[in-house]
Chain A
Amino acid sequence: MRLAILDNGHSFGTKALFALIRTVSRQPVLDVIKLVKYRADFYGGPMQGVTHEAMRGPSAWSVADRELMAAFVAKTNQCEFCTKAHAAVAQRAYGDRKMVSALLSDLDGAAIEEPLRTTLVMLGKLMHEHAVGADDMRAVFAAGASRQQIEDALAVCFSFNVISRLADAFGFFVPGPDAFEAGAKYLLTRGYR
């Protein structure tokens, strides 16, 4: 990472936790974990509160849908780390590797329901153009999504708009697929806290 403090500026207790994670998972500690554990009172603690609620709180979207949204947000922001990390979670959650990969390459041709597709189109416009209007929201309603579903999708978008920017700005190391698979298992079991 581009800041040494994010690699090795943690407290003794946190470094011991990282050693335990390495031993149990037999994988390196992902840089996103190092980030949220560094001065957690400033960023990691409050951010985990937002992200856990967005990704695992009550919602009409399934966990798999929200992980797919996270991967889509990351892909739109051109963040390799977060795209691979959350594509792995979504693939495991859906039990469908091909659909997730296909959607991230071609949203229009993907085999998903219209409320989800239209919501992703709206999120894509928000991120690409830094703008979205009432007509974009009406299109999502017309496709069958509820207001609460739109709010829930915006919360996922907020979280991964933050995290993908930090991953790229701080220069997260992008590990191989085994590390992301281990991360996906953890996130589906324990969530984001």
Chain B
Amino acid sequence: MSNIRKAQKALVQRILEGDGKTSPSKRRAAFNNRGLDEPLGTLVDKVAKHAYGVTDKHIAAAKASGLSEDQVFEIVVCAAVGQATRQYEMAFAALKDATGKE
């Protein structure tokens, strides 16, 4: 495995399994863009699919639901890394299909 793939996996492991202000289950839900109640579900989906569409209101709604700024920070990071990881892994699967090699 290349240095970059190792570093990418270390980043994912850190944000999902390391210490945080948000529970690991909620960070993983944000990473997977699945299973979060509102208003977090909308914020995470926006970050994953149309981050340019995130507004002050989305962040304010997340804070008004009881999350601290540190928790919003972690959730948004997990959402961004999650979507980027899905695309990265999908592309490697396509490479494997095209070449027959991992």
Contacts and interface: CB of A to CB of B under 8 A. Distances in A.
Interface of A: 2-6, 9, 38-39, 41-43, 46-47, 49-50, 53-54, 57, 77-79, 126-127, 130-138, 141, 147, 150-152, 154-155, 157-159, 161-162, 164-171
A188 to B, nearest CB: 20
B56 interface: yes
Interface of B: 2-5, 7-8, 10-11, 14-15, 18, 20, 46-49, 51-52, 54, 56, 59, 69-70, 72-74, 76-77, 79-81, 83-88, 90-92, 94-95, 97-99
B40 to A, nearest CB: 13
B14 to A, nearest CB: 5
B77 A54 contact: no
Majority secondary structure, B binding face:
helix
Majority secondary structure, A binding face:
helix
Given A42-B18, A46-B11, A79-B51, A147 B88 contact: no
A134 B92 CA distance: 10
A118 B5 CA distance: 23
Contacts of B83: 161, 165
